[in-house]
Amino acid sequence: MKKTVEVLPDQTALIARSLDLILTKLDTAIKQQGRFTIALSGGSTPKPLYEAIANQKLPWDKIHVFWGDERYVPPDHPDSNERMARLAWLDRVDIPNTNIHAVPTLDNDPAVSAAKYEQHLQGFFHSAPGEFPALDVVLLGMGDDAHTASLFPHTAALQVRDRLITVGNKDGNPRITFTYPFINAAKSVMFVVAGANKRPALAQVFAPSADDLAYPSRLIQPQGELLWLLDAAAGAELSA
Ligand SMILES: O=C(O)[C@H](O)[C@@H](O)[C@H](O)[C@H](O)COP(=O)(O)O
């Protein structure tokens, strides 16, 4: 694993650097394999990044978008990660609808939705059960409790190692999430984290030893590249 930590002066610089890295990876992936696959994170931090991507002139038909996690709400719900990404980016560009691989959230049972999303991913990547296909980029945020995607501290989702997708649990509310082994299969995992409120959790995630189940972002140790992109408010005291 190649781990890099970059601390940018402020959130504007953080978003600009994140955009630059994504565009470089996108260009390389399309040149080498004819397509680029990225899993999006939710929450508030990535919204300006998605807006910046929407302003680029890109080969949208070669770009495939997935979600690393999703709240278990309809896609038009204010909490929906899909809704946020569509408003900030996807509805503003000419990307084919078949390239937008949204998480199903309208079944009565989150486990059914998780299985459906897993089957969709296996079909897209032509992977067999037990195989972990490698996305080009998995974008991640981190909560102030050190959760990432919807892998929350001391939840059952942290124990799932033989699936791509599982059901997360945030304070009793179901989420659909990539498992940490699936995230770790990515060619590049990019954390984009901002704000002083994330500093204590980052200290635990970067500590030489701490409880992985208490600080789930510690579980993200990809075979490929691990990039931590932080603003100074979050990461001033850290280094690789
Ligand atoms: O669905 C979600 O909420 C996210 O995927 C989640 O993992 C998010 O990245 C963190 O909670 C950080 O959120 P902020 O960027 O809002 O701090």
Q: Report yes or no on 153 lying in a domain.
A: yes
pLDDT value for 75? 98
CA distances from 157 to 26, 37, 128, 129 (A): 30, 24, 21, 18
Per-residue pLDDT at 2 exceeds 70 = yes
CB atoms within 10 A of CB 145: 16
Banded model confidence at residue 238, pLDDT cuts 50, 70, 90: confident
Closest ligand 1 atom number to CA of residue 71: 1
Per-residue pLDDT at 209 exceeds 70 = yes
Q: Report yes or no on 1 lying in a domain.
A: no
Q: Report yes or no on 205 lying in a domain.
A: yes
Q: Report yes or no on 177 lying in a domain.
A: yes
- Find the 219 Cα to ligand 1 centroid distance in Å: 16
Q: Report yes or no on 201 lying in a domain.
A: yes
Tell me the C-alpha distance between 158 and 106, whole Å: 24
Q: Report yes or no on 160 lying in a domain.
A: yes
Tokens representing 183 are: 């995230």
Pocket residues for ligand 1 (CB within 6 Å)? 41-45, 69, 81, 141-143, 147-149
Per-residue pLDDT at 102 exceeds 80 = yes
Could you give the dihedral angle defined by the CA atoms of residues 79, 80, 81 and 83, in that order, rounded to the nearest 10 degrees? -120
Rounded to an integer, the average pLDDT of 95-107 is: 98
Per-residue pLDDT at 240 exceeds 70 = no
The structure tokens 């037990």 sit at 130
pLDDT value for 239? 60
Q: Report yes or no on 5 lying in a domain.
A: no
Q: Report yes or no on 7 lying in a domain.
A: no
The tens digit of pLDDT for each residue in 114-172 reads 999 999 999 999 999 999 999 999 999 999 999 999 999 999 999 999 999 999 999 99
Give the residue, by CA position, lying nearest to ligand 1 atom 9: 141
* Domain of 167, in residue numbers: 15-184+197-222
Rounded to an integer, the average pLDDT of 181-202 is: 98
Give the residue, by CA position, lying nearest to ligand 1 atom 7: 149
Closest ligand 1 atom number to CA of residue 195: 17
Rounded to an integer, the average pLDDT of 13-36 is: 98
pLDDT value for 237? 86
Closest ligand 1 atom number to CA of residue 68: 5
Query: What is the Cβ-side half-sphere exposure of residue 189, based on CA atoms within 13 angstroms?
Result: 28
Closest ligand 1 atom number to CA of residue 81: 1
Domain tally for the chain?
1
- Find the 16 Cα to ligand 1 centroid distance in Å: 19
Banded model confidence at residue 1, pLDDT cuts 50, 70, 90: confident
- In whole numbers, what is the pLDDT of the chain averaged over residues? 97
- Find the 31 Cα to ligand 1 centroid distance in Å: 31
Give the residue, by CA position, lying nearest to ligand 1 atom 4: 42
Domain CATH number, residue 133: 3.40.50.1360
